[in-house]
Chains A and B, each alone.
Chain A
Amino acid sequence: MDILKFITAGSVDDGKSTLIGRLLYDSEAILVDQLEALHASNRKNDDGSIDLAILTDGLKAEREQGITIDVAYKYFETDKRKFIIADAPGHIQYTRNMVTGASNAGLAIILIDARKGVIEQTTRHSFLVSLLQIQQVVVAVNKMDMVDYSEDVFNRIVADYKVLAGKVGLKNVTYIPVSALKGDNIVYPSAKISWYTGDSLLTHLENVELEVDDTSAHARLPVQWVVRPQTDELHDYRGYAGRVSSGSFRVNDKVTILPSGFSSTISKIEFYDKAPQEAIAGMSVTVHLADNIDISRGDIIVNSAGQPQLSNLIEADLCWMDTRPLDPSLTYLVQHNTKTIRCKISEVLYKVNINTLEKDYIEDFKLNDIGRIVIKTAEPLAFDPYQLNKANGGAIIIDSRTNVTVGALMLRQAVD
């Protein structure tokens, strides 16, 4: 059994909370004491049924304001798969929260209100899903009960969305007509939508295939920690501990250490009391090399046959996440894998109006702004383009005055 992490993009008005509540409720992921709290609540739907949106209610601060201000994580499972939902708010002022939730998602559910069709926020959400390179997309056309479960309405929205998907570059899109309020096609197929022959939302989530890049050429292991017991019996023991971020390593593979550029061979892969022959993406292991090389945290071990780019001047997409605007005169910190070094945003190329996808040639970068920039780093970064390798292409910017994470970077290419 594996884990699928997904994000739901939509606003309260689209029935996002109801959809998540319905998924949890119908898949019996709600426990009695939570259910009691649900029944005890004064909030009910117009027809007197339980308001499932309460299940996603979070903090007191949020309830007081009646909004979601942050990403909430929900967990449920079926016989086929375990699920982690990143429930992020959909309004434009919370773009950074959606970007945060999207960064770890393998699938995105984009909610469309059947009465409204493809609107401005659909464009925005789809752009973000594409920017963060989420592998699978489900367009859930919700509130089908409000449009008499009309096939025509659904088909029109699908046709409109296909145009948008082409524009923002989304592949692997699945369309499902649903009513979260009535429970149609969420967990169980609906008799009222008999013209739809595809899977219900949950069945789709259970069966959709996720891919992982396990080709040896893309093997990357950022070194987190050097294990050196320095005891009498383990005097010469030197293991490089880290999590394989992409690709796969095998014993005897020729590897290169970056940024230094030294080469060696993997002599042993260790995992506690085991010595596997192979370590694939996602595994936390300890690697031994045949040669004595000076390696420390911040270095990255890669397969010599497929090396990343190495540069200190990099074009990247940037999402700004702080209330203080970007200041190009300031020195920030960039954290990429296990390396944190000084940097500057040396050039703002353009910003994207994420509602219309038009480019704005304005230099100021404020909270929730997204655009393309050039970053200059104090030392070269060994990175892969984010579109090809999310694990080695993402980075964050930290304001060294406040220590707060102020930007998300999707690295694109070295600038000559």
Chain B
Amino acid sequence: MSKYRLDYLDELEAEAIYILREVAGQFEKPALLFSGGKDSITLVHLALKAFRPGKFPFPLVHIDTGHNFEETITYRDDMIARIGEKLIVGHVQDSIDEGKVIEQKGKNASRNALQTVTLLDTIAKHQFDACIGGARRDEEKARAKERIFSVRDEFGQWDPKRQRPELWNIYNGKIHKGENVRVFPISNWTELDVWNYIRRENIALPTIYFAHQRDCITRNGQLMAASPFLNMDADDKIENKNVRFRTVGDMTCTAAVESYAFEIDDIIHEIASSKISERGARMDDKVSEAAMEDRKKGGYF
């Protein structure tokens, strides 16, 4: 016996790799959900460590709202070309065209809620039995109670009262036909852990994570990127600001923060001294106190 020797980033990394390999070993048709955000980019890096020199035992799946930051799509396509893995894209626009969802109207219209339908359809179409995602338990209190292997019924629903006990590092991936499992390998990471890992591993990120000049408007006290996807009117005053984004989602629901963090060290310093939580910059969590819990029950990631 001796004193514990693994550094925290090594331990988190080893745990995530272990979970990814459990997915590979336990499921027939897994997929890795790739949003273009730093958490799913971290997952891809972890998958390289888990499976190289072999290929990934799963494709990457991107649910494209059609309202993405251009930088995200550029990053995605460059990355796929570099790692040579398969990418499947599910388009929210297709769900709209097929009449499965109806585009929201009004000033706060967003496709964020619609993407759940596209996600569930994409899962059904490809018969994925496990979907790996980059959610973390420190993000939000409904997430704090979610398992690492989280079973969803055929409607994609999460039932917090019927979660399976999850003991030691034994993950029970047994499911019935039609069900699937959402798997969260970086559940135990905090936002700062992800950033420190990205710095240590020298992982490239989409440029919108770093401070840049951008035309913005202020909505409900939050800075939003001015874009054709945002329903703007005469009241909206466009201002050019130095901003960056802490999460990468749909342009209509991801708020910017004013920032002069041009390098990753600046970002880590900014987060370490920041007093606003990451999801505090997500308009979609502001709707009600139980917003995330309700959306998760409906199949949201």
Contact = CB atoms under 8 A, between A and B. Distances in A.
Interface string A72-112: 11110100001010000000000011011001100000000
Interface in B7-24: 7-8, 10-15, 17-18, 21-22, 24
A333 to B, nearest CB: 7
B120 to A, nearest CB: 20
Contacts of A271: 49
Contact of A405 (B15, B137, B138, B166): B166
Interface in B278-298: 280, 289-290, 293-294
Contacts of B168: 103-104, 390-391, 394
B186 to A, nearest CB: 12
Given A241-B21, A333-B174, 7 more contacts: A2-B4, A33-B276, A241-B51, A242-B21, A321-B165, A338-B22, A340-B174
Nearest to B167: A103
A31 B275 contact: yes
Interface of B: 1-8, 10-15, 17-18, 21-22, 24-25, 48-55, 57, 137-138, 141-142, 144-145, 160-161, 163-170, 172, 174-176, 187-188, 190, 192-193, 274-277, 280, 289-290, 293-294
Contact of B174 (A84, A241, A398): A398
Contact of A73 (B14, B137, B172, B275): B137
Contacts of B50: 225, 241, 284
A210 B18 contact: no
Given A211-B1, A297-B25, A405-B165, A1 B7 contact: yes
Contacts of B8: 1-3, 82
A143 B110 CA distance: 49
A3 B13 CA distance: 13
Contact of B275 (A32, A59, A272): A32
16 contacts: A57-B141, A61-B160, A75-B188, A75-B190, A82-B8, A209-B4, A211-B4, A212-B4, A214-B2, A228-B54, A229-B53, A229-B55, A243-B169, A284-B21, A396-B172, A405-B172
Given A243-B18, A403-B176, A234 B276 contact: no
A227 interface: yes
Contacts of A96: 165
Contacts of A224: 18, 21-22, 24-25
A69 interface: yes
Contacts of B188: 73, 75, 84
Contacts of B144: 58, 72-74
A215 B1 contact: yes
A210 B145 contact: no
A69 B174 contact: no
A11 B12 CA distance: 30
Contacts of A231: 53
Contacts of A272: 48-49, 52
Given A70-B160, A338-B25, A282 B172 contact: no
A61 B161 contact: yes
Given A3-B8, A59-B142, A335 B172 contact: yes
A225 B21 contact: yes
Contacts of A69: 160-161
A33 B280 contact: yes
A321 to B, nearest CB: 5
B157 to A, nearest CB: 14
Nearest to A64: B290
A3 B11 contact: yes
Interface string A39-71: 000000000000000000111110000000111
Contact of B53 (A73, A237, A282, A408): A237
Interface string A199-219: 000000000011111110000
Contacts of A333: 174
A395 interface: yes
7 closest A-B pairs (Cβ-Cβ)?
A32-B275, A403-B174, A284-B17, A60-B290, A33-B280, A224-B21, A103-B167
B187 to A, nearest CB: 8
A394 B170 contact: yes
A283 interface: yes
A158 B13 CA distance: 40
A192 B170 CA distance: 45
Contact of B18 (A215, A284, A398): A284
A60 B164 CA distance: 19
B143 to A, nearest CB: 9
Contacts of B18: 224, 242-243, 284
Contact of A283 (B14, B52, B53, B166): B14
A357 interface: no
Contact of B1 (A58, A213, A284, A390): A213
B170 A395 contact: yes
Nearest to B286: A33
Contact of B5 (A212, A215, A225, A229): A212
A280 interface: yes
Contact of A75 (B137, B141, B290, B294): B137
Contacts of B17: 243, 284
Contacts of B275: 31-32
B172 A398 contact: yes
Contacts of B170: 335-337, 394-396
A32 B176 CA distance: 43
A321 B4 CA distance: 31
Contacts of A73: 137, 144-145, 187-188
B195 to A, nearest CB: 13
Nearest to A60: B290
Contacts of B164: 404-405
Contacts of A391: 168
Given A74-B144, A272-B52, A33 B277 contact: yes
A197 interface: no
